[in-house]
Structure 1
């Protein structure tokens, strides 16, 4: 159960509409030690790192938390097994250490161990992969502060088929079973932002940076537009940290000079497939001609991905084409006994990885390492890396910012659990008792604990006060109405897309892509945000247009036509700005 100290932290980290207004007022009037641009995993992680050191922190995000790369990953927290082939032992060990911290200490409610099978089709593969996984096991235990997952184990063909009947038996020699971990990436980022807010950070979404403020050769803050009102204002800061991912190169135009690194965008497409289409319970990792393919259990679904291709078109809404979908189905069907078809696909999503680049590298060979550069005094740019190592990236960026301040302590985030982590194991142990007291099924409590940890008690109080919030969301019975209201009251959701795409995964987990849920969701949000009937219709029409544009893009034969189709739907944010333009810096 939560202590009084935890209750105060939960309340302090509630990203309500009132909190957003108060934080915007702070941004207008205060001077901050650090201003962070970008509400993805690295930006939110930097906000928590800086705020937990006692610094005055502001974070702005042009769209929503995790609206870009950080909500469109493979949902894995992993060491990067394939990086061993590139002899990136330090990178793999660093990532495995972070994986252990997240599973064991920082976010056990959000990051869960996931068993994998690596199917084998030759005796050479057994020896080769076996050596790699032995090194993987060694690296996860060497000097590791977090908990270690089970070591790898060899399986016969019969044992492999027993664990994953859906694998085609032809040419199969067996498999090696090992462990990595899985998370809902967008939920993780929202929890990071809430935890940063609980330490005093001022955070706000729908706040677009339209310019960097300078005094001679020093950056002194940023000009920001509130996309909900159209108002612009300045934020004053000693150091600006841009954690903007694939938007990093846009700073070149704002500075009028070249930034000290190049970031290339690599498109990764994933399919969401109904669970009954594949017979199996573990994750699968398969070698492809250029990379690897994952087949990952995801609640009542499977996630299949990913592609790895250069992308130079619209970065806010990368589009999956018909050729991307066909490519993933073809790769998966080579390993599966029952071939998948388009009828099995419930959802598709595409994201962009920010890769540090040179001039001619293929995206699958570009570095997953990160860099922190200071192209101008007072401005730091952090880019590269991957979701698993966000905490190291954030620490390195804040360490650089701390050089301009005095008496700043070292990073604490290796020992700062995210909201919902404290008391989670005890709550999970007592989940049947909690369910009985709440008048809900144990399965519902397990669902809530896996998404909110001990913040589940906040939702249970809401449902006690408003029993109708126990009802499922229309068209998406896996989710409760309480989760929609909680997304607005505590998680900073401002638009229907925030809820349907990131606070929940209704947009990709249902064949209707959220079309059958949007009216119910909007009605629940309207009471919290004071929407008029016109506001409600605007939200519904924008969301339906977005779904239609995505469906259209996924029928197109190539990237160019898919991008054009996706751009047919306008972004719901910024309509109050009367046509004012400006590129969104987000992550």
Structure 2
């Protein structure tokens, strides 16, 4: 069990990290391995924000080589070509590294992509892109690229595509899927703790002030109390709350925005078994990407792209989001009965895309933009926008290099370990001894504080559609024994979980089956 927050009062750290998503956890891991004394605080649970609400795609890099209109734009703007090549190389290298080190958290999927006459590039252009990706990837993650002329493809989705007469070619390739992005972040977080970092979820920064020319004081708050700590350097990795965090600093309340929060919604549906393991990608009516990707026995469709300026804790899928995705998927695949299909599950996340006054939906490339707030009078405060799951390690390494340029670590560097951390099994059929041991581990070793923490992030039970009211009751009962909850507190916990999945995922827990879609 972790200590009370007051025990941190008066402590000093080399680096304080605000935000426990994938980038905050990876930064803590890499900085601790480099010898820095690190504090990581997250206002909610680790990996509970955009990390858990992503499209879960580990792109091989091929999509980033496509021009917006036609290939001649690369000749007119070679800088754009260079940026896309660099991005594709980063994606290919990241996929290769993650495939080698955390393969249990990845799952291959076959994606088809139609190339229409109006898109301004041909199949042979994509052939060149695929060859470049294979070269960049160095064969570490197979992409199994294929191309067919017209619609002469065995891919099961192709016969259902709209405007088949205008399709020049169909390409298909293997991409990887993050089946458990939450655990990737949790592994990094607790490996950082193994290396000496202090990591705390459900801990808010309620004040952030400069101390001297370069130092910082942070006032923290959690359910047990408050504490003041000092840090030589502060990393603002608070996602869509980056601007609000920057503006906590006295004198910086009028800072221009660094983030454009974009809401992305996905829905989970059941298609016939013919399509299992296969996905399709295309464009929606707004010219944005739309995917229908496999998820076990199901497929998920998304994302939406809408500007979000609401409560960071209430990024939820609404009726308009779901109707839009159904309508656009039906337009992409007019011969499949998608419009009337039951939505089994939905999720929404808000991505911290880099703000650009000339781009209403933010600046999409490059990823992981560093904002040195020293230019605004706040030395040793760094914010990072649009850091995605795929390149979280590359972003963390850049952070270490950046900080190392102004602050030497106070400790000794140690080896970093990317291997999946052992975690106890927790299944619907676990006996009481096994279930209780898993719950004890998640509470004492991984800072779980709710049934949602355990069933939605520290295990895959919710995402694998395996949570029933019976399992929820057993987990909460075990939590109550460990945390000394009263019967009424246990009842409140079960109600909180049901309310969470209703509001955040639009499902109602069922006593007999697993989930029933809510209205």
TM-score category by the smaller chain?
0.7 to 0.9
Q: Return 5+ residue gaps in structure 2 as ranges.
A: 69-80, 509-519
User: What secondary structure is seen at the aligned counterpart in 1 of 2:196?
Assistant: coil
CA spacing shift, 1:552–1:199, aligned 2, 3 Å: closer
* Structure 1 residue 517: Cα displacement: 4.7
The question of 1:544 aligning with 2:508 is answered no
Label 1:79 to 1:463 Cα distance change in 2 as closer, same or farther (>3 A).
closer
Matched, 1:393 2:357: no
Whether 1:491 aligns to 2:446 is yes
Q: Identify the match of residue 42 of structure 1 among 6, 23, 28.
A: 23
- 1:142-153 pair list within 5 angstroms: 142=136, 144=137, 147-153=140-146
Residue 74 of structure 2 is matched in structure 1 by none
Q: Secondary structure at the match of 2:46?
A: coil
1:251 aligns with 2:245: yes
Partners of 1:237 and 1:214 in 2: how far apart? Answer: 10
Q: Does 1:154 align with 2:147?
A: yes
Greater Cα shift, 276-285 or 481-490: 481-490
CA distance in 2, matches of 1:160, 1:411: 52
1:89 aligns with one of 74, 85, 90: 85
Counterparts of 1:150-229 in structure 2, within 5 Å, are 150-155=143-148, 160-161=153-154, 163-164=155-156, 167-168=159-160, 171-172=163-164, 175-183=170-178, 184-226=180-222, 228-229=223-224
Measured in 2, the distance between the counterparts of 1:113 and 1:196 equals 28
Cα separation, 1, equivalents of 2:52 and 2:444: 21
RMSD value, Cα: 3.5
Partner Cα distance (1:121, 1:410) in 2: 56
Match of 1:326 among 308, 323, 333: 323
In structure 2, the CA distance between the partners of 1:212 and 1:271, relative to structure 1 (3 Å rule), is: same
Tell me which of 375, 378, 381 is aligned to 1:379.
Answer: 381
CA 1:210/1:136 → structure 2, altered by over 3 Å: closer, same or farther? farther
Q: Rate the CA distance shift 1:266–1:195 in 2: closer, same or farther, 3 A.
A: same
Closer/same/farther in 2, CA of residues 129 and 26 from structure 1, 3 Å limit = farther
Structure 1 position 28, deviation (Å): 3.2
1:52 to 2, 15, 33: 33
Alpha-carbon shift at residue 210 of structure 1 (Å)? 0.4
Say if 1:153 and 1:177, in contact at 8 Å, map to a contact too.
Answer: yes
Equivalent residue pairs, number: 481
**Structure 1 pair 71/146, CA: closer, same or farther in 2 (3 Å)?**
farther
After superposition, where does 1:531-570 map in structure 2 within 5 Å? Answer: 531-550=485-504
Q: Shift of residue 138 of structure 1?
A: 0.7
Distance in 2 of aligned mates of 1:509 and 1:37:
30
Deviations 1:42-87 (A, max 9, x none): 1001001101112211111010011111110000111454432263
Distance 1:272 1:484 in 2: 28
CA gap of 1:176–1:552, structure 2 versus 1, over 3 A, is closer
Structure 1, gaps ≥5 residues long = 1-17, 421-451, 471-479, 555-587
Return closer, same or farther for 1:411/1:68 CA change in 2, 3 Å cut-off: farther
CA distance 1:344–1:356, shift in 2 (3 Å): same
Separation (CA, whole Å) in 2 of partners of 1:201 and 1:487:
18
Deviates more, 1:126-135 or 1:32-41: 126-135
The equivalent residue for 2:418 is 418
- CA contact under 8 A between 1:93 and 1:140: conserved in structure 2? no
Separation in 2, partners of 1:371, 1:169: 37
Question: Aligned partners of 1:171 and 1:133: how far apart in 2?
Answer: 23
- Classify the secondary structure of the residue corresponding to 1:66: coil
TM-score by length of 2: 0.82
- Of 292, 297, 302, which aligns to 2:299? 302
**3-state SS of paired residue (1:387):** coil
8 Å contact from structure 1 (residues 49, 411) kept in 2:
no
Q: Which residue pairs with 2:309 in the alignment?
A: 312
TM-score for the superposition, normalised by structure 1? 0.73
> How big is the shift at 1:344?
2.1
Q: Residue 489 of structure 1: CA displacement?
A: 4.5
Within the candidate set 106, 111, 114, 1:111 is matched to: 106
Q: What's 1:503 paired with? A: 458
> How far apart in 1 are the matches of 2:408 and 2:504?
49
What does residue 360 of structure 2 align with? 362
Deviation at 1:321, TM superposition (A): 1.9
SS across alignment from 1:286: strand
* 2:42 equivalent to 1:61: yes
What displacement does 1:469 show? Answer: 5.4
Kept in 1: contact 2:428–2:471 (CA 8 A): no
1:403 and 2:405 matched? yes
CA distance in 2, matches of 1:272, 1:79: 23
Give the structure 1 partner of residue 475 of structure 2. 521
Q: CA deviation at 1:341?
A: 4.2
Contact 2:146 2:171 in 1 (8 A): yes
Residue 468 of structure 1: aligned partner: 432
Please point out which of 478, 484, 495 is paired with 1:530.
484
- When you count strand as a share of all residues, which structure comes out higher? 2
Task: Classify 1:486/1:118 alpha carbon distance in 2 versus 1 (closer, same or farther; 3 Å).
Answer: farther
Q: CA deviation at 1:98?
A: 1.0
Between 276-285 and 346-355, report the one with greater CA deviation: 276-285
Superimposed CA distance per residue, residues 335-365 of structure 1 (whole angstroms, 9 cap, x where no aligned partner): 4433124552111110011111121413176
Structure 1 residue 90 displacement after superposition: 1.0
SS in 2 for 1:323: helix
CA contact (8 A) 1:371 1:382 kept: yes
Alignment check: 8 A CA contact 2:266 2:346 kept: yes
Distance 1:496 1:38 in 2: 21
